[in-house]
Amino acid sequence: MHIEINKPLKLESALNIRELGGYSTTGGRVTKKGVFLRGDSTHSLTPGDLDTLINLGVTLVVDLRSPDEVKELPSKFNSVKNIKYENVPMFDGLASFFATGKMPGSMAELYCWLLDNCQEQYKRIFRLFLENSGISLFHCTAGKDRTGVVAMLLLQLAGVPDDTIIRDYAVSEENLKIVFDEQSQILKKSGIEVPKYVLGSKPEDMEKTLCYLKEKYNGACNYLLKCGLTQQEIGKLIDRFVD
């Protein structure tokens, strides 16, 4: 069955900001548009891009980057009127792995590490979503790893089938091809060798992460309960996101 994956918004300076709405669920329902946007970095957004996102109805921006990343490239949203901007650091991209020389064996390994070690952050992120009545935009640098895990939790919670979740994750590689090619060249010139999977979003990495979520935590709902959300909060979140 062909699954239509949401295309990025037409923006001048971001390549991977896109809707999580419009996906069918296993219960015959559909995720609502105008609730969640997932994205790459917002540090280079033009005034026109900001206007586009504000006019769409974005009222909350959750920046998942580390304090160092935020300091180096501040989000354009951190001083926009009527937009709540929150930095909830997940980890510092792959900087700490580069520093120690201990790279994860795969992106899936990193995503499972996030699920095990960032439960306080996920609780905070999902509570921010609950407090917001407009569109919530959550992003990191490329919008595939830290952002990808939050998107996976939201879609799994909504009852979106694994195939769709995996494809929604995997399309980042295509959307960011230009950026990844440039990064690869820069790293090569600097003499830094990085595994190919770092600059990509292979379907098998999300497939393994979904298996881990189900085997260890029995799915997104139970995982978020373990993070500290209540059943009532989770129900409210699903009602907001699913038609």
- pLDDT (0 to 100) of residue 1: 58
The model's pTM is: 0.93
Who has greater pLDDT, 31 or 177?
A: 31
- pLDDT (0 to 100) of residue 26: 94
Residue range 6-11: average pLDDT?
96
DSSP 158-176: HT--HHHHHHHHHHHHHHT
Report the alpha-carbon distance of residue 233 to residue 127 in Å, rounded: 8
Residue range 7-32: average pLDDT?
96
Q: Average the pLDDT over each of 65-69, 167-171, 183-187 and give the range with the smallest value.
A: 183-187
pLDDT, tens digit, for every residue of 174-212?
Answer: 898 877 667 666 656 666 666 666 777 899 999 999 999
> Band of the pLDDT at 30, cuts 50, 70, 90?
very high
DSSP the chain: ---PPPPPP--SS-S--EE--S-B-TTS-BBPSSSEEEES--TT--HHHHHHHHHHTEEEEEE-S-HHHHHHS--GGGG-TT-EEEE-----TTHHHHHHT---SSHHHHHHHHHHH-HHHHHHHHHHHHH-SSEEEEE-SSSSSHHHHHHHHHHHHHT--HHHHHHHHHHHHHHTHHHHHHHHHHHHHTT----GGGG---HHHHHHHHHHHHHHHSSHHHHHHHHT--HHHHHHHHHHHB-
Percent of the chain with pLDDT over 90: 76
> Band of the pLDDT at 64, cuts 50, 70, 90?
very high
Q: Are strands 135-139 and 36-39 parallel, antiparallel or unpaired?
A: parallel
Would you kindly state where each structural domain of the chain is located, as residue ranges? 18-241
Q: Which residues contact 123 (CB under 8 A, 6 or more apart)?
A: 224, 227, 228, 229
The domain made up of 18-241 has a fold known as Protein-Tyrosine Phosphatase; Chain A (3.90.190)
- pLDDT (0 to 100) of residue 200: 73
Q: Is the pLDDT of residue 240 over 90?
A: yes
Instruction: State the CB neighbour count (10 A cutoff) for residue 165.
Output: 24
Mean of per-residue pLDDT scores for the chain: 90
